[in-house]
Amino acid sequence: MKVRIISALVALAIVIPLIYLGGYPFAIGCGILSILGYVEILKLKKSHQEIPNIVKVLGLVSLLYLVLGDYGETSLVYSLSYERVLIPLVLLLIPTVLYKKDKYKIEDAFYLLSAIYLIGLFFNLLIIIRNANVFILLYLVSVTIFTDTFAYVIGCLIGKHKMSKISPKKSWEGAIAGVIGGVSIALIVYHNLVEPLNFKIILVTILLSIIGQIGDLVFSKIKRENDIKDFSNIMPGHGGILDRFDSLTFIVFTYVIIIMFL
């Protein structure tokens, strides 16, 4: 527990100033985190075979182009340019015909592409949300943190009904408590930092809390299929980059989708 607390404090000491500064420092921070997440994906050997080093570099270039492209964008309702979507496809699919049969296969290329789009879009949207409104970012982070916290604490105390075989420690009691506690505190944050509450934002926050827990299960399934407990040990007691951003990834995606529709 002591290691977990110290690790969290160190992470906060790094992340909070970056969020406060925003702009270029925050974008660079997101770029570094995306690289660390990319490395964690490459280490999942059961999901793919060893990828040639040149292709790894091409994937890294594609990732950073996706994350940092338009890093000064301030509108939550925007569309990715075609070149930013197509460049990773071209860079990672063409090499499949240049390598011998089993060295770099189509399935490896699509695995790499899906990882790059998942990580790249998440961190790119994180930058744009910070540019648009830092308080919206804090609201989304609060949904994530307090949903996870209440779900974990209540699940440990009174959780009896297992929610999923994917993550045996998660219970329905914890999940429900996560929604109630996470939504309640996130709404307080939204009301005090963004704008007065309305029925629409209450429904949106409930949905985000639920989707966040589903996102957690998605990443848990990836780990389960690869027989690992954490994606890495970069944060002792907490795991890797993808372990910390699992719920937030789906919360950010869902929030942006809702914004675009509304």
Q: How confident is the model at residue 237 (pLDDT cuts 50, 70, 90)?
A: low
Least confident stretch, 119-123, 137-141, 214-218, 231-235: 231-235
Q: Which residue has the higher pLDDT, 127 or 12?
A: 127
Mean confidence (pLDDT) of the chain: 88
Kindly report, residue by residue over 35-64, the tens digit of the pLDDT.
Answer: 999 999 998 877 667 788 999 999 999 999
Q: How many domains does the chain have?
A: 2
What gap in Å lies between CA 126 and CA 149, rounded to an integer?
Answer: 22
What integer pLDDT is reported at residue 109 of this predicted model? Answer: 92
Domain end point (choices 117, 132, 147) = 132
> What mean pLDDT comes out for the span 170-181?
89
End-to-end CA distance of the chain: 43
> What does the radius of gyration of the chain's CA atoms come to, in whole angstroms?
19
* pLDDT of 4 over the 70 cut: no
Q: Which residue has the higher pLDDT, 11 or 37?
A: 37
What gap in Å lies between CA 182 and CA 187, rounded to an integer?
Answer: 8
Structural domain harbouring 200: 134-262
For residues 103 and 172, membership in a common domain is answered with no
For residues 121 and 180, membership in a common domain is answered with no
